Amino acid sequence: MTAASGLALNTATLGHNLDGAGAGWSPEQTIDACAERGLGGLVFWRREIAGREVALGERVRATGMAVVGLCRAPYLVGHETPREPQAVMDGFMASIDAAAALGAPVLTIVAGGIEPDTKGPATSLRRLEERVAKGADYAAARGVRLALEPLNPVYGANRSCLTSVRDAIDICARIGAPNVGVAVDVYHVWWDTDLARQLQRPDCRIEGVHLCDWLHDTTDTLLDRGMMGDGVADIVGIRRAARDGGYTGISEVEIFSARTWWQRDPGLVLDTMIERFVSAC
Ligand code: ZN
């Protein structure tokens, strides 16, 4: 066991969540580089593995690493979702199928923003809950757990009507399915003074912990995430709160950084995140 074995790479850290970003490593190169460094696993984005889920999942497991998760379900509410509810569910179920094919135990859900022609988050959150509840059985039948990830409130309008761990746990509790829990991402929760208390709730099930940092003078609230230790988040405290809330799983590093880390050699990025996992997390 090394420190790196408790760490997974979310491939967004190498820019793989966006077309044309990062150094352009293939999934195979990425898998091999993570295995060489003794990482515990990987979290892929759908766009980089589409149609190759089975083979890439097998390749990861052949190295001794785990596929930790898949990012992500399409938005379930908001301006970017199809207006026809069945089309939304079809997209959701296709993403669950992709997770199952990859052998990913967890599919991350980013809610999507505020529904057209509505004000405030209430209607959007209610529709989100209905759709997650409908998908939960389909996911369970395929061995997939669903991780509802609340996003930082800066994204409340366009990316996630779900902006607090409290609301995410409330939704999970009302759905009441054993395969629906929450993902805790440092970038989205670092400001939340109620985080530790929420994660202690008996109805809280944590399905993932995502690491990065919030830079003091961030220049872009989407693509300027910091490396752990470079910003203002209490990462040690957040990880402790997750452990106290029962989380025993791996930590994944998820850094969207168009102007800094995506410009660097991916090998250096991997080495740095391992070093910072030891020194700053
Ligand atoms: Zn995340």
Contact 128, 168 (CB under 8 A): no
Q: Following DSSP, what letter does each residue of 113-132 receive, concatenated?
A: -PPTT--SSHHHHHHHHHHH
Mean pLDDT calculated for residue range 16-31: 95
**pLDDT tens digits for range 47-93:** 999 999 999 999 999 999 999 999 999 999 999 999 999 999 999 99
Beta bridge partners of 184: 209
Q: Which residues surround ligand 1, an ion (CB under 5 A)?
A: 185, 210, 254
- Ligand 1 centroid–CA 255 distance in Å is 9
> Which phi and psi (to 5°) does residue 39 adopt?
-65, 155
- Ligand 1 centroid–CA 213 distance in Å is 11
- Ligand 1 centroid–CA 169 distance in Å is 16
Contact 151, 112 (CB under 8 A): no
Residue 11 DSSP class: G
- Ligand 1 centroid–CA 222 distance in Å is 12
Beta bridge partners of 69: 43
Q: Where are the domains of the chain?
A: 3-280
Residue among 80, 29, 71 nearest 47 (CA): 71
Rounded to an integer, what distance in angstroms lies between the CA atom of residue 60 and that of residue 269? Answer: 20
User: For the domain bounded by 3-280, which CATH number is listed?
Assistant: 3.20.20.150
- Ligand 1 centroid–CA 227 distance in Å is 14
The 10 Å Cβ neighbour count of residue 110 is 23
- pLDDT-derived band at 1, boundaries 50, 70, 90: low
Residue among 207, 200, 153 nearest 180 (CA): 207
- Ligand 1 centroid–CA 10 distance in Å is 9
Could you tell me what percent of the chain has a pLDDT over 70? 100
Whether a cis peptide bond, with omega within 30° of 0, leads into 46 is: no
- Ligand 1 centroid–CA 221 distance in Å is 14
